[in-house]
Structure 1
Amino acid sequence: MYYSFPDNFWWGSASSALQTEGAREGETTWDHWFSREPNRFHNGVGPQQTSTFYEHWKTDIALLKQLNHNSFRTSISWARLIPDGIGEVNPQAVTFYNQVIDELLAQGITPFINLFHFDMPMAMQEIGGWENREVVAAYARYAQICFELFGDRVNHWFTFNEPIVPVEGGYLYDFHYPNVVDFRRAATVAYHTVLAHAEAVRAFRAGNHAGEIGIVLNLTPSYPRSQNPADLKAAHIADLMFNRSFLDPVLKGEYPQDLVALLKSYDQLPACQPGDSELIAQGKIDLLGINYYQPRRVKCRDSAVNPDAPFMPEWFFDSYEMPGRKMNPYRGWEIYEPGIYDILVNLRDNYANPRCFISENGMGVENEQRFIENGQINDQYRIDFISEHLKWLHKGISEGCHCLGYHMWTFIDNWSWCNAYKNRYGFVQLDLATQQRTIKKSGEWFAATAQNNGFTRE
């Protein structure tokens, strides 16, 4: 069967400043954490050793063109542009980002620019990070500077990538700096991130900039083990905490009342100030980026909560390992292609069918060199992964969902937080020793799919 996509569909990939550019003038939380605890990073590889986009941006953009991208998302590094977060703008950074944006446009590739991808300037973290409203104000100023510097050429802006992840990683589950386990502080970080998003949206609108502004959320559909009321409630609470805590504010301009009531009953609500509700209502977006990798399967708890343990989301549900599920054994994640369709249908039916696109979807695989044939990685498994997700995406579009594109994570194998280069995601293989780039079989397949605006699949 041939799967054809709408005219002007966005075909491309996504990356981020911190994961590709390499060393920068301003220190981030990642640079700081790596200097203190390099053992927490796979093979001791830190954020200085990334895929050298800062040096190779021109040839890398030529590769994007070769892969028939018509769009590409990356981010601006707050710490590179304003090293201390609040002070002078770094002119070298302005030159670099101008060159990247101009070259993308020259190659016919539409730039999608994100403002924050986990890379908090360390100077801002030292005064509390997202726990401190001064950092919210500093971020709003940074966003406004970006709009003024680059807004004449960038028409697709995003305030945050996966804002729930620094909340989970930094303040609940100990996989990001500052390695705090404290739900109330986590809730404050999440709340202030929503305020920062809304401030940036307000600045964008006030500046009468061309184009549109949105946010990128990682949406993980919460599937209950069964239709038992206890399992349904568990899935509902997981959905409230991990999806709707950001989805509702940015699409509806308000928080779900049952989430507010739940946190209030456990005395976990963040401190609010007069005017916050009005600000959040002004943060409604034009475009939603959806990152989808895996589903969340949950069941009701089978055991009592330890009352002396820290308050956690898992007070309300347990993870459920569904028998027979398909797995990516390298990354340890379930592969469930219909999840991408379920996300789109939920947005269509419960959120007024917003303009959206798949901003990330991808498959990380360890030691891909074992699949080299005639000098090229034969990653047929990645082609199968993408095409099966695209089939479900196509079904959603055919049923009226307003999805405008598909971006793969990622373009070139890049550095990935604490995993460094353990799992590779790219269309293009990166040789760490030589920085040589080699297109994988999936890259050739994607180039053909983009060129044809569709593909054939049984």
Structure 2
Amino acid sequence: MKYTFPEHFWWGSASSALQTEGGSQLGARGETTWDVWYSQQPTRFHQQVGPQDTSTFYQHWREDIALLKQLNHNSFRTSLSWARLIPDGSGDVDPQAVAFYNSVIDELLAQGIQPFITLFHFDMPRVMQELGGWENREVVAAFSRYATLCFELFGDRVRHWFTFNEPIVPVEGGYLYDFHYPNVVDFKRAATVAYHTVLAHASAVRAFRVGEYAGEIGIVLNLTPSYPRSQNPADLTAAHHADLLFNRSFLDPVLHGEYPADLVALLKHWDQLPACQPEDKAMIAEGKIDLLGINYYQPRRVKCRDSAVNLQSPFMPEWLFDNYEMPGRKMNPYRGWEIYEPGIYDILTNLRVNYGNPRCFISENGMGVEDEQRFVENGQINDSYRIEFISGHLKWLHKGINEGCQCLGYHMWTFIDNWSWCNAYKNRYGFVQLDLATQRRTVKKSGEWFAATSAANGFEDKDSDHD
């Protein structure tokens, strides 16, 4: 069967400044929280590879954009580094950084590739974190100023803006589960960080609207459908709670302009509500977006708790549900994540049915595999597993579009093997192989497949089983 996608479909990939630019010591770039953490605890990073060793886009941007063209990208998402542009987060703009980003944007456009630009992808400037990061409303104001500067500097050419990438992740990693800096475990502080992030998002959207810039503004959310173990009411409640905390805490404010009443009641019941100001409600209502980016990697499977909560332990989301390992699930063993292609369809259907069918696109979807050198054939990595992964998800995406979902594109994570937070280069995700020793770039089999798919605006599949 042939799967053909709508005209002008966005084919591309996604990356971030911190994970690709490298050159953290080049120009006047300020330190980020990652530089600080790495200097304090290098052993928490895989093979002690830190953020200074990322995939050298700062030096190789022209060559890399030529590869994007070769892969038939018509769009590409990356982020600006707040700490590169404004080294201390709130002071002067560095002209060298402006020149760099202007060059990148201009070259993308010259190659017929639309730049999709994210303002914040986990890289808080050190000076801002020292003020308390997203716990401090001063940082929200500084972010609003940073966003406005970006719109002024680049808004004449950038038509697709995103305030945040996966804003729930710094909440989970930095304030709940100890896998990002500042390694706090405190639900109430996590709730404050999440709440202020929504305010920061809304303030940037307001600035965009007031400035009447061309194009559109959105946000990128990692949506993880919560599937209950069974239809038992206790399991359904557990799944509902997981959905409220991990999906709807950002989805509802940016699409409906307000928080779900159930979520507010839940946090109030456990005395975990963040402090609110009277003017916040109107600000959040102004944060409704034009375009939603959806990052989808895996489902969340939950069940009701089987044991009583230890009331002496810190309050955590897991007081409300337990994770459930479904027997027979298909796994990516390297990342420890379940592969469940219909999840992408379920997300789109939920948006169509419950959120007014917003304009959206898949902004990330990908598969990290360890030691891909095993699969080299004639000098090229034959990552047929990645082609299978992408085509499997695209089939369900196609089904959603056929049923009326306004999904406008598909971006893969990622273009080139890049540095991954604490995992460094352990799992490779790219269409392009990066040799760390030589910085040589080689297109993988999946890159060739994706280039052909983009050129044909679709692909043929001989053994399709659901459409």
Report TM bin, short chain.
Answer: over 0.9
**Structure 1 equivalent of residue 6 of structure 2:** 6
Q: How far apart, CA to CA, are the structure 2 residues paired with 1:148 and 1:415?
A: 30
Match of 1:60 among 60, 64, 76: 64
Q: How far apart, CA to CA, are the structure 2 residues paired with 1:216 and 1:429?
A: 26
Q: Quick check: 1:23–1:47 contact (8 Å CA) kept in 2?
A: no
**Structure 1 equivalent of residue 300 of structure 2:** 296
Query: Secondary structure in 1 aligned to 2:139?
Result: helix
Task: Give, in angstroms, the shift of residue 23 of structure 1.
Answer: 2.9
Q: Deviations over 1:328-382 (max 9, x none)?
A: 0111100000000000000000000000000000000000001000000000000
Match of 2:235 among 224, 231, 235: 231
Task: Give, in angstroms, the shift of residue 125 of structure 1.
Answer: 0.2
**Structure 2 equivalent of residue 439 of structure 1:** 443
**Structure 2 portions without partners, runs of 5+:** none
Q: How far apart, CA to CA, are the structure 1 residues paired with 2:248 and 2:223?
A: 9
Q: How far apart, CA to CA, are the structure 2 residues paired with 1:105 and 1:258?
A: 44
Residue 51 (str. 1) matches residue 51 (str. 2): no
Question: What is the one-letter code of the residue matched to 1:14?
Answer: A
Q: How far apart, CA to CA, are the structure 2 residues paired with 1:26 and 1:369?
A: 35
Q: Residues 83-162 of structure 1 correspond to what in structure 2 (within 5 A)?
A: 83-162=87-166
Q: Deviations over 1:298-327 (max 9, x none)?
A: 000000000000000000100000000000
Task: Give, in angstroms, the shift of residue 59 of structure 1.
Answer: 0.4
Task: Give, in angstroms, the shift of residue 392 of structure 1.
Answer: 0.1
**Structure 2 equivalent of residue 307 of structure 1:** 311
- Please report the TM-score for the alignment, with normalisation by the length of structure 2: 0.98
Identity level (%): 84
**Structure 2 equivalent of residue 423 of structure 1:** 427
Query: Secondary structure in 1 aligned to 2:120?
Result: coil
Q: Quick check: 1:13–1:407 contact (8 Å CA) kept in 2?
A: yes
- Please report the TM-score for the alignment, with normalisation by the length of structure 1: 1.00
Q: Residues 208-223 of structure 1 correspond to what in structure 2 (within 5 A)?
A: 208-223=212-227
Q: Deviations over 1:60-115 (max 9, x none)?
A: 00000000000000000000000000000000000000000000000000000000
Q: Residues 11-410 of structure 1 correspond to what in structure 2 (within 5 A)?
A: 11-24=11-24, 25-410=29-414
Q: How far apart, CA to CA, are the structure 1 residues paired with 2:23 and 2:160?
A: 26
* Root-mean-square deviation over aligned CA pairs: 0.3
Query: Secondary structure in 1 aligned to 2:36?
Result: helix
Question: What is the one-letter code of the residue matched to 1:209?
Answer: Y
Question: What is the one-letter code of the residue matched to 1:55?
Answer: Q
Q: Deviations over 1:15-66 (max 9, x none)?
A: 0000000133210000000000000000000000000000000000000000
Q: How far apart, CA to CA, are the structure 2 residues paired with 1:70 and 1:375?
A: 27
Q: How far apart, CA to CA, are the structure 1 residues paired with 2:178 and 2:328?
A: 30
In the alignment of these two chains, the number of paired residues is 458
Q: How far apart, CA to CA, are the structure 1 residues paired with 2:333 and 2:460?
A: 27
Q: Quick check: 1:19–1:414 contact (8 Å CA) kept in 2?
A: yes
Question: What is the one-letter code of the residue matched to 1:6?
Answer: P
Q: Quick check: 1:298–1:319 contact (8 Å CA) kept in 2?
A: yes
